Structure 1
Amino acid sequence: MMIEILDSARVVDASNACVRQTVAAAAADVLGRIANLETRLARSAAEIDAAQAVRYRVFVEEMNAQATPEAARRRRDVDDWDAICDHLLVLDTSIEGDPEEQIVGTYRLLRQEIAERAGGFYSGSEFAIGDLLARHRGKRFMELGRSCVLPEYRTKRTVELLWQGNWAYALKHGIDAMFGCASFPGVIPEEHALALSFLHHNIRAKDEWAVAARPERHRTMDLMPPEAVNPKKALSALPPLIKGYMRLGAMVGDGAVVDHAFNTTDVLIVLPISNISGRYLNYYGADASRFSSVS
C-alpha cells in the first residue's frame, strides 16, 4: 500500500513538473507585453490558421483584395510562403477562450537561409532583389510581409509590440537587414503622386543598397519634380506603416509595382540594422528589452 502511495506521489510530482515546464516554455517565447497585449511567434497550425483569418478580414474584406474560390470559402488568406515562414502575432490576452481567438495582428517573417532553400523570397516576384543580396553576401537578410492589424487594435501600442517582436526576432537570428513590400491603396500610382515622389526624391536606396522594381513591372515614382513636393503634405499622405519604417531609418527601392490581386501599389522597403536610428534603439533597447516584461 505504501509503495502504491509513493508511486502515485511520484506520478503527481512528475505531472506537476511537466506542467511547470510547459508554462515556463510558453512564457519564454513571449517577445513583448504591454498590459493585456503580447507578441510572440505562432505556436501551432491552429494559430497560423487564425492569423490567416485575420489577414483575410483585412486584405479581402476591408481592402478588396482578390480571393480564390477556396480562400473565399475558408475565409483565409493563404499562399505557399506560409509554410516556410515564422508568423509573428499580437494577442489580446483579455479575450477569453483559445489563444487563436485572441489574435488581433500578425506579421510574416522569412529568413534568408530558409528562403534560399525554398526557392526565394515573396518580394522577388515584384522587385529585383538578387543583385542586392549578391552585394551583401556576408549579411543575413529577413523579409517582412503580410503585416496587418484588426481595425479596432490599430493603436500605437499594437504597432510598438509588432516592432518589439520584429526587433527581438532579428537579434535572436543575427539579422543584418530587413526588407519587404509596403503598400498604398489602389492600383493607380498617379493617385499617390505626392507621396511616391517624396519617397523617390528623399529616401531612395542608393549605392550598395540600391534595388529596383523588376523591369517588366516597374512604375515610376518620380511623378513630381522635387521643388513641387511639399514635405509636410507628403508625410501626411503616407500610409502609417511606411511612415513607421521611415522613422526607423528605412529606404525605398526605385520604382513601384501595381499588385492587382491585392488592389495595391507596392514599394520595397529596405532597412539595414545599422540604419536604425539611435532614438529607436534606445526606445526598444539594444537587446529588445523595452517591452519584454512590461505588465
Structure 2
Amino acid sequence: MPSLRKGRYRARLAEDAADLAAAQALRARVFRGAADGAAAQDDRDPYDADCAHMLVEDQRSGTIVCCFRLLHLRSGADIGRSYSAQFYELSALQDFDGPMVEMGRFCIHPDWKDADIVRVAWGAMTAYVDAFGVEMLFGCASFHGTEARDYYDAFALLRDRHLAPARWLPRVKAPSVFQFARRLTRKPDLKAAQAKMPPLLRTYLLMGGWVSDHAVIDDDLGTLHVFTGLEIRSVPPARARLLRAVAG
C-alpha cells in the first residue's frame, strides 16, 4: 500500500524495526506516561509481530504524530486471535463471514492538536480497507482514567444511541467492568457527553459504529474501554465519499 500525503502529513506503513520502535515509543508515551525518547519496551506485546503498523508523520520534521496497528483476520472465525478477545466474549462475531481488521493502539502525540492528523489517519485507514476488501473494523476505544463516573453522560449516550446489534453484541469476560447499559438510568447531557467522548470513538460513531454494553476497567493502561465495531457497508455514503477523497 503506497503512502498517503495530505498537507504537511504523510501516512505510511512501518517498513522496518526502527519504524516499529518509533511507534512503540509514541505508544509508551501516550498510554504509559513514558518520557519522550525513553525506551519503548513498556508497550511492546506479542500482537505487534502479527500486525501492520500505520504511522502518520510530519513531513517537515519527521516527527511521528500518530500511529495505530492493524491485525487482519480472514473472518470472524479468527476473532479469538485478536487483542480485544482478551477482554470481551466475542463468540457472536465468529459468524461474521467477511474480512475483518482490528485497529488498536491508536494514539496521537500529546504535543500535537491538529485535527488534520485524525483526518489523515482515517484516510489511510480507508485506503487500507479498500485495498484489502475489509468488511468490518473493530477494536477497543479508550477513555482516559478508570473512574466511570467521569464519563456517565458519554456512557448514557452510548447506551441510548450506539449499542451493538444483538447479533454481534460482545458479552462480559474481563473481571472488572462497568455495565453502563444496565446500571445507568440518567438521560445524557449531550454537550457533556460529546465533550468527554474520545476522538477515535467519536469518529467511529459518526461512521455508523457501535459499542459493547459495558466498559472494561483496564488497570494496566489506566483506561476504561469499550469494544467498538464498524461494518463498512453501514458507513453513510456522504461520509464514505469524504474519507475516500482524503484517501485518494
Asked if these proteins are the same fold (TM beyond 0.5), I'd say yes
Amino-acid identity (%)? 28
5+ unaligned residues in a row in structure 1: which ranges?
1-27, 65-71, 96-100
TM-superposed deviation, 1:215: 6.1
Aligned to 1:139: 98
Q: Structure 1 pair 198/127, CA: closer, same or farther in 2 (3 Å)? A: same
Match of 2:20 in 1: 48
Aligned position for 1:84? 50
Identify if the C-alpha distance between structure 1 residues 243 and 139 changes in structure 2 by more than 3 Å, giving closer, same or farther: same
Match of 2:131 in 1: 172
Distance 1:73 1:42 in 2: 20
Distance 1:117 1:225 in 2: 36
Does 1:152 pair with 2:124? Answer: no
Name the structure where helix makes up a greater proportion of residues: 1
Q: Which among 226, 231, 240 is matched to residue 267 of structure 1?
A: 226
Q: Cα 1:114–1:207, aligned 2, differ >3 Å: closer, same or farther?
A: closer
Larger Rg: 1
Alpha-carbon separation, structure 2, partners of 1:188 and 1:84: 32
Distance 1:93 1:217 in 2: 42
Q: How does 1:14-93 map to 2 (within 5 A)?
A: 29-30=2-3, 32-61=4-33, 74-76=39-41, 77-93=43-59
Equivalence for 1:111? 72
Where has structure 1 moved over 6 Å in runs of 4 or more? 114-119
Return the TM-score normalized by structure 2.
0.90
AA of the residue aligned to 2:7 = A
Q: What is the deviation of 1:156?
A: 1.5
Give, in angstroms, the shift of residue 291 of structure 1. 4.3
Match of 1:290 in 2: 246
Please give the secondary structure, in 2, of the residue aligned with 1:151: coil
- How far 1:198 sits from its partner (Å)? 1.4
Alignment partners' CA distance in 2, 1:205 and 1:116? 19
C-alpha distance in 2, partners of 1:114/1:34? Answer: 32
Map Cα deviations across residues 254-275 of structure 1 (whole Å, 9 max, x no partner). 2110000000011011100011
Q: 1:40 deviation in Å?
A: 1.1
Aligned residues: 245
- Classify the secondary structure of the residue corresponding to 1:290: helix
What TM-score do you get using the length of structure 1 for normalisation?
A: 0.76
What corresponds to 1:208 in structure 2?
A: 167
Instruction: Give the counterpart of 1:232 among 182, 191, 197.
Output: 191
- Structure 2: stretches of 5+ with no match in the other structure: none
C-alpha distance in structure 1 between counterparts of 2:154 and 2:18, whole Å: 39
Contact 1:115–1:121 (CA under 8 A) maintained in structure 2? no
